Amino acid sequence: MVFNCWICAKLLPAMYKHTHHKIPQATGGADTPGNLVELCPGCHDALHNVAYRLLSAKHSLASIRSDVSMIYQNAEASARCFELACLVRDAEVAAREGLVEGRSVHAAATTLSTKAKNALRMRTKELGISQEAYLRSLVLSDLIKAYGASIASDDQLLLVPPRRVPARGSNAKRSP
């Protein structure tokens, strides 16, 4: 089986196919044919690198466009790569600004009753935070209560209880 890369149009064996979401799943993009494109690994990597450069204030739009044109001598391929990179950038900006909710929130919310979903929407609106931030705070609060967890940094939660080491000469077994 073979496929054509949506950006560069190379014909490659299917084992090299990367399926890319035009609108990322993390920001609500669906697994539908209209939202999916098949890319070669090089083009997939390139478009994400371009998207991250678009998010950075270090690079001008003109320099990024110029770099993409150097990667793809074909103007159509360059335009397709830039188009997908802009969609990734826009989705990331929307997620950062709280305009969309991550897939994890939707996955957690699917098991809630309609009344609970409405209450969740209402509560997060009252607090002025996203559903993701609200659910994250509930989870962290519960873990701290349950395990006496210490927070090492904003993005790392330590749940390892301290080891108890018996005094020398004690016959007591060490706890794992």
Q: What is the pLDDT of residue 20?
A: 92
157 pLDDT above the threshold of 60:
no
Contacts of 117 (CB under 8 A, 6+ apart): 109
**pTM for this entry:** 0.55
163 — pLDDT class (breaks 50, 70, 90): very low
170 pLDDT above the threshold of 60:
no
Contacts of 70 (CB under 8 A, 6+ apart): none
Quick one: 120 exposed, middle or buried, by C-beta within 10 A (0-12, 13-18, 19+)?
Answer: middle
Nearest to 43 by CA among 96, 118, 76: 76
Q: What is the pLDDT of residue 15?
A: 92
The Cα 136–Cα 130 span in angstroms is 10
What's the mean per-residue pLDDT of the chain?
75
Range with the poorest average pLDDT among 79-83, 127-131, 151-155, 166-170: 151-155
148 — pLDDT class (breaks 50, 70, 90): low
Handedness of CA 73, 76, 77, 80 (dihedral sign): positive
Handedness of CA 79, 81, 86, 91 (dihedral sign): positive
Rounded average pLDDT over 106-121: 66
Q: What is the pLDDT of residue 46?
A: 93
125 pLDDT above the threshold of 60:
yes
Percent of the chain whose pLDDT exceeds 90: 30
For 94-104, b/e burial (b = at least 16 CB within 10 A) is bbeeeebbbee
Beta pairing partners, 2: 13
